[in-house]
Amino acid sequence: MNSCSKVCDNLTRIKPTEDWLSESRLKRCLTTLDLTFLGVGCVLGAGLYVVTGELARDIAGPAVIISFFIAAVAATLSGICYAEFGCRIPKAGSAYMYSYVTVGEFWAFVVGWNMILEYVIAAATLARACSEYINSFAQGYIFKFFMNDIATWNVSGLGSFPDFLAFTLVFAASFIVSLGAQKSSLVNKIVTFVNLAVILFIIVIGFYFADGENWKPKFAPYGFRGILAAGASCFFAFVGFDVIGSAGEEAINPKHSLPFSTILTLAISFLAYFGVATVLTLMIPYHKLSPFAPLAEVFVQRGLSSAKYVVAIGGLCATMSTLVANSFAGPRIAYSMASDGLLFNWFAHVHEKTKVPVRAVLVEGSLAAILALLLDVKQLVELLSIGTLISYTIVAIAVLVTRYTPGVQTV
């Protein structure tokens, strides 16, 4: 009985207050603007350019804008939980650290490993998507070269050819992250700004071509059930704001920056999704939306063919910003777990000059690069949704725990 009791105590022990309020070995250099762009860059990914049209055409019709509103409310509630913990615990680790100081070591271990796998798989998936964008710009010659001059195979679970472009993109993102938080933040701000500029272009030009008749005769052709079904999918469009929490040890003023940038990220993302969904369904009837690249095709159908290149650039920048954000966040989780002894201490090493956990960056980048090179990562995408729900649920429970736990401080 004593042995069982000791095991249970070890599994449920929480991180001492003096540990999570200690000084950071990382460099506090990120402003509220940096964190906001980090969050927006991770949330407004390539899905905006594809998923919005799919949901409008197949699930909700023009009422998809209501679905995005419902999803935004749910995401904001989850974001508030992260914002509160960002004030209390200004450390790297995001949901992992929030779990450790409230619900115990076992759940922190589960959440931490879950997040590491989530970021690795996401990086591989995004690199594949980014390589497809670049290949489309090259009129398919890159993939033809890989298939005709390098290798092809037909093995279940693997891609049909080695995607060396995706492999290179993962290492490029990892290299950018290894340069330091400030430099990687600068790169992220540039590509995210371009993405936001393209989204603004889509909304402004889209309203010029808008026709209210396209919302008739039925605004919600699939009924309330369709709105709710689309809302569930729309929620995952807002996934990514939790990346802000991984930068808790690098924020200059975490008590202010983490909650403010989280809410601002969700607000900007909602306006972008809502605006794009609105103009998309006003420009042409929802049932005529293309199943492939609907945003680009809708401009072609309205006689503005050159706009598809602008949209393509936006999609590429959106994918790149999300790739950099995921490459940034994952190693911070590994660093935090290693610092707590739940992962090999080797991963806790911080580069003396850049103040980045370079070993964690190298290992996670290598794993993601191999996945992107060889695997059909689309089969792994569903794991991302499961992992995200686990993290968000644990953080929500952890907030409730803090309400009834004496001695939990703010910073």
Closest CA relative to residue 340, chosen from 108, 118, 5: 108
With respect to residue 120, please indicate whether it lies within any of the assigned structural domains.
Answer: yes
Q: What end-to-end distance do the CA atoms of the chain give, in Å?
A: 39
* 313, amino acid identity: I
Residue 39: per-residue pLDDT: 94
With respect to residue 406, please indicate whether it lies within any of the assigned structural domains.
Answer: no
With respect to residue 22, please indicate whether it lies within any of the assigned structural domains.
Answer: no
pLDDT digits (tens, 9 = 90+) for 205-227: 988 888 888 888 888 888 889 99
What's the average model confidence in pLDDT over 91-113?
A: 86
With respect to residue 16, please indicate whether it lies within any of the assigned structural domains.
Answer: no
Domain containing residue 354: 28-400
With respect to residue 111, please indicate whether it lies within any of the assigned structural domains.
Answer: yes
With respect to residue 340, please indicate whether it lies within any of the assigned structural domains.
Answer: yes
Residue ranges with strand state E in 203-353: none
Residue 5: pLDDT band with limits 50, 70, 90: low
CATH number of residue 323's parent domain: 1.20.1740.10
Query: Distances in Å between the alpha carbon of 236 and those of 42, 313, 386, 403?
Result: 12, 23, 11, 28
With respect to residue 15, please indicate whether it lies within any of the assigned structural domains.
Answer: no
Return the HEC string of 76-134. HHHHHHHHHHHHHCCCCCCHHHHHHCCCCHHHHHHHHHHHHHHHHHHHHHHHHHHHHHH
pLDDT digits (tens, 9 = 90+) for 77-96: 999 999 888 888 888 888 88
pLDDT digits (tens, 9 = 90+) for 236-276: 888 889 899 888 888 888 888 999 999 999 999 999 999 99
With respect to residue 226, please indicate whether it lies within any of the assigned structural domains.
Answer: yes
In terms of pTM, does the model score above 0.85?
yes
What is the domain count for the chain? 1
* 41, amino acid identity: G
As a whole number, the mean pLDDT across the chain is 85
Under a CB-based contact definition with an 8 Å cutoff, are residues 365 and 170 in contact?
Answer: yes
